[in-house]
């Protein structure tokens, strides 16, 4: 049997959809196709084989042939001021092709249709994941999908060939994204342990890293954040309760002795408000801001019937400030927790996290995707289009190669 060719071969340089140094090298070595000494068929064949090694290399040729479309999408940016002031008849003025204006002859830029040959592949779920920088190669993106780490509109879709529709939101597990895009771990934990033991045996203490210091905020409210998979009604409530318990710790140091009484009252009120939590529907209290306004409303409602003293209004303002502060703390803490890029041997990637080598050379997000990196989710806005001077399908090949590849698939059609 013939030996399967290498995926990254230096003998036959092929560009692959991944962030490897071989791909980078191949992109750097890429040249214009030889159109002088080769037949048209040879040129087309080479163009097809080179582009297919990059675009949808994981798809069988027959499947791609069925996906191929000869009509390629394009848009033209319009100026609304021009549209408002002209009705189009000026283009037929003069002798039928518009009145000549001296010096203002400006030919519109070419729309690179031929770089759009592979636009149907960009619609695939695995390609879209790779294009939104959630995986370091299409094959890895495909694996994420198959392993059930990807949801489309909140539903698990295990099909890498799922064709995204405009408006679909896909989400990848954040840990997997960090693993895919992060620098690789050099050694296993066992090997690192052995190395540490050896170092200890040698009595070498100079190289040991100082233990990372836990932040104070994280210590204070570490109990308040519990990772809950299901955003349920009760979990929100319990979370708020723990928060309120911690409010005392957080604010107790800052509150002077005179305010202690006020503060105790405030806590009781908050507790009452929390007990009223059930009246709220889970949709209305999903975000922190919503939670905050809900609590504020509840407090105000509590206070209104019993408002006998004028001091109460100022107190409620005080309370509101405190509550706001507590929520700010919670928010900060959540951010801090994630941002504090701590060393963690249990992670499958190198910690503290840093992007993998050569990632920056491949880091671009095409305009047909809108990505939120914080939650590792993206929305497929529309199909990729060509516009004057710009094609949205990311392809490393020159325009001539694109033309030849398009012509290869055009035949018999």
Partner 1 sequence: MPPRLHSPNLASALTSCTSAWSQCIAQPTRISREFSQTSCQQVTARRRRFYEWINGPGAALRQPLPGSTNYLGAYDRYGNLVRASPGYQRRSKDQPKTEGEESKPDDTEAKAEEEEAPSGQDTIDELEMAVRRDEESARKTKSKEDAQRLAPETAEDLRPFPQNKFFRSQRVLSEDLREAIYQRVTKDGVTVSLASVEFGVSNERVGAVVRLKQVEKEWVAQGKKLALPYAKAVLDMLPTTPYVDPSLPENKGKRPITHEAINDLIVHPATRQQLFVPVAESRQFTRVDAGKAFDNNLLPADDRIPHPELVLAEREMATGLSFEERRRLAEERLAAEQEKKRREEEARLAELRAQKVVPKRRWDFVFKDVSVEHAGKDGRGVKGVGWRYGMPHEDRKKGQVKIPTKVKA
Task: Scan residues 182-211 and list those touching partner 1 (CB under 8 A).
Answer: 182
* Minimum CB–partner distance for residue 102 and partner 1 (Å): 21
* Minimum CB–partner distance for residue 259 and partner 1 (Å): 28
Parallel/antiparallel/unpaired status of strands 386-387 and 390-391: antiparallel
Residue closer to partner 1 by CB (options 199, 222) is 222
Reference 51, options 113, 119, 111, 2; nearest CA is 119
Distance CA 378, CA 398 (A): 29
Residue closer to partner 1 by CB (options 175, 204) is 175
* Minimum CB–partner distance for residue 46 and partner 1 (Å): 15
Parallel/antiparallel/unpaired status of strands 377-380 and 168-172: antiparallel
Binding mask 138-177 for partner 1 (x = CB under 8 A): --------------xxxx-x-x-xxx-xxxxx-x--x--x
Q: Which of 301, 321, 345, 390 binds partner 1 (CB under 8 A)?
A: 390
Encoded tokens for 221 = 């409210």
Q: Which of 4, 60, 62, 85 binds partner 1 (CB under 8 A)?
A: 85
Binding mask 30-49 for partner 1 (x = CB under 8 A): xxx-----------------
Residue closer to partner 1 by CB (options 92, 195) is 92
Q: Which of residues 1-20 bind partner 1 (CB under 8 A)?
A: 1, 10-11
Q: Which of residues 311-340 bind partner 1 (CB under 8 A)?
A: 331, 334-335, 337-339
Q: Is the distance from CB of 380 to CB of 165 less than 8 angstroms?
A: yes
Distance CA 188, CA 200 (A): 18
CA triple 406-411-413, angle to 5 deg: 105
Distance CA 294, CA 225 (A): 20
Q: How many residues bind partner 1 (CB under 8 A)?
A: 117
205-213, 227-235, 249-257, 303-311 -> range binding partner 1 (CB under 8 A): 227-235
36-44, 232-240, 244-252, 256-264 -> range binding partner 1 (CB under 8 A): 232-240
Distance CA 357, CA 61 (A): 32
* Minimum CB–partner distance for residue 267 and partner 1 (Å): 21
72-80, 139-147, 208-216, 309-317 -> range binding partner 1 (CB under 8 A): 72-80
CB atoms within 10 A of CB 353: 15
Residue closer to partner 1 by CB (options 217, 377) is 377
366 in contact with partner 1 (CB under 8 A): yes
Q: Which of 220, 245, 396, 407 binds partner 1 (CB under 8 A)?
A: 396
**CA dist 341 → 188, 213, 335, 338, 349 (Å):** 20, 12, 11, 7, 12
**CA dist 200 → 68, 190, 194, 209, 345 (Å):** 62, 15, 10, 13, 19
Q: Which of residues 267-296 bind partner 1 (CB under 8 A)?
A: 285-291
Helix (H) or strand (E) run with residue 217 in it? helix 216-220
């Amino acid at each position: 049997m013939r030996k399967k060719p290498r995926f990254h071969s230096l003998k036959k340089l092929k560009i692959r959809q991944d962030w490897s140094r071989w791909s980078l090298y191949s992109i750097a070595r890429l040249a214009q196709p030889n159109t002088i000494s080769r037949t048209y068929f040879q040129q087309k064949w080479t163009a097809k084989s080179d582009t297919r090694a990059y675009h949808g290399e994981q798809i069988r040729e027959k499947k791609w042939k069925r996906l191929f479309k000869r009509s390629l999408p394009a848009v033209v940016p319009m100026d609304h001021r021009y549209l408002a002031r002209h009705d189009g008849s000026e283009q037929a003025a003069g002798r039928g092709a518009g009145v000549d204006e001296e010096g203002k002859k400006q030919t519109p830029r070419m729309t690179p249709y031929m770089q759009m040959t592979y636009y149907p592949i960009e619609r695939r779920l695995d390609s879209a994941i790779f294009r939104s920088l959630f995986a370091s190669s299409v094959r890895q993106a495909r694996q994420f999908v198959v392993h059930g780490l990807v949801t489309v509109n909140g539903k698990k879709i295990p099909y890498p060939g799922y064709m995204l529709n405009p408006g679909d939101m896909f989400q990848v597990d954040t840990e997997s994204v960090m693993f895919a895009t992060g620098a690789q771990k050099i050694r296993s934990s066992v090997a690192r342990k052995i190395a540490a033991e050896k170092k200890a045996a040698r009595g070498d203490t100079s190289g040991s890293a100082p233990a990372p210091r836990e932040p104070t905020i994280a210590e204070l409210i570490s109990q308040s954040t519990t990772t809950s998979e299901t955003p349920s009604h009760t979990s929100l409530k319990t979370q708020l309760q723990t928060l309120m318990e911690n409010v005392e710790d957080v604010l107790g140091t800052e509150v002077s002795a005179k305010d202690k009484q006020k503060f105790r009252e405030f806590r009781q009120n908050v507790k009452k408000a929390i007990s009223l939590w059930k009246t709220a529907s889970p949709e209305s209290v999903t975000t922190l801001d919503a939670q905050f306004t809900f609590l504020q409303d509840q407090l105000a409602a509590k206070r209104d019937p019993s408002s006998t003293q004028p001091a109460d209004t100022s107190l409620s303002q005080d309370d509101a400030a405190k509550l706001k502060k507590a929520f700010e703390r919670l928010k900060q803490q959540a951010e801090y927790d994630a941002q504090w890029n701590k060393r963690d041997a249990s992670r499958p990637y190198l910690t503290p996290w840093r992007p993998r080598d050569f990632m920056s050379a491949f880091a671009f997000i095409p305009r047909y995707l809108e990505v939120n990196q914080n939650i590792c989710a993206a929305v497929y806005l529309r199909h990729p289009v060509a516009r004057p001077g710009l094609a949205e399908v990311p392809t490393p090949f020159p325009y001539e190669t694109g033309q030849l590849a398009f012509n290869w698939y055009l035949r018999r059609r």
